[in-house]
Structure 1
């Protein structure tokens, strides 16, 4: 379920309009992105474009996790479900890190 929520988050990001001005609360906010307006504009566009590419893989990963969890619940493997849920928490963190480092790598120093 957590990976499905991640897919929904990426869908929301992909549907956003890029934030026009550097601000304190909204948009892709890395130190490089906040350095100047050109970096900020590029970071916002790249974040949205890359999030669009992550939607389908994260949705498929989420469906796989849900199917396995349902199977394990039916089998009565409670401890395995808990382990799988913990593993499922790691996947979104990895995807968000990939998004962050990809966008940050695109920016000029």
Structure 2
């Protein structure tokens, strides 16, 4: 049995379609209605849970938590009015540049 694949672009379209929906009937709309700060907080919580799963070496939990991280990242981006195309452009700008060099340029 084939498992349906949902791309990050597909997910972004679904999230975007929930903007302005009834927060009483849509979890995504509820998150978006709470604003960028709350979306960022939820993203952070899910990231920490992913780290914990990784530290435990639990592959299934990592998969589950990573899905939550991707979902909540897309929600955060939508709440902040950041398009995936902007992220893709930034990744493209960095292509071919050493991560060490890139970090040095940013001073981090």
**TM-score, normalising length from structure 1?**
0.33
**TM-score, normalising length from structure 2?**
0.33
Higher relative contact order (CA 8 A, sep 6+): 1
Task: Indicate the structure (1 or 2) with the bigger Cα radius of gyration.
Answer: 1
